[in-house]
Amino acid sequence: MTIAEVYYRDKVAGILTKTPEGYEFIYSAEYLDDPTARQISFSMPLRREKYESARLFSFFDGLLPEGWLLDLISATAKIDKNNKFRLLLHTGKDPIGAVSVRPVGGTAK
């Protein structure tokens, strides 16, 4: 299993895990208890139950670069462009929006 922290702005919103079966995302209890908490995506509303998918969730997949930029990052970082989780960990710490993805123990954007 590979684990990443998902931040909403400067707060850990939850944990994204790559499992042998696919992917899981669960919001952290601390985040859910915060009255200012926001869902990270319309497709992933706030809830205590984990989300599960055989493929990388569409929201996270949408954070990945495409086309020539994907080719460039993949070649430069020596990451297989089909390894979406590793690419997300590599590129997800500096997103355009409010959500960032970091290896466990990383810091917010």
pTM over 0.85: yes
For residue 50, pLDDT beyond 70: yes
pLDDT greater at residue 42 or residue 92: 42
Query: How far apart are the C-alpha atoms of 25 and 62, rounded to whole Å?
Result: 15
Q: Which amino acid appears at position 97 of this protein?
A: G
Mean pLDDT of 19-28: 97
Q: Tokens 């297989």 sit at which residue?
A: 80
Q: What is the pLDDT of residues 87-104, one digit of tens each?
A: 999 988 777 789 999 988
Q: What is the percent of the chain where pLDDT is above 90?
A: 83
Give me the pLDDT at residue 109, please: 47
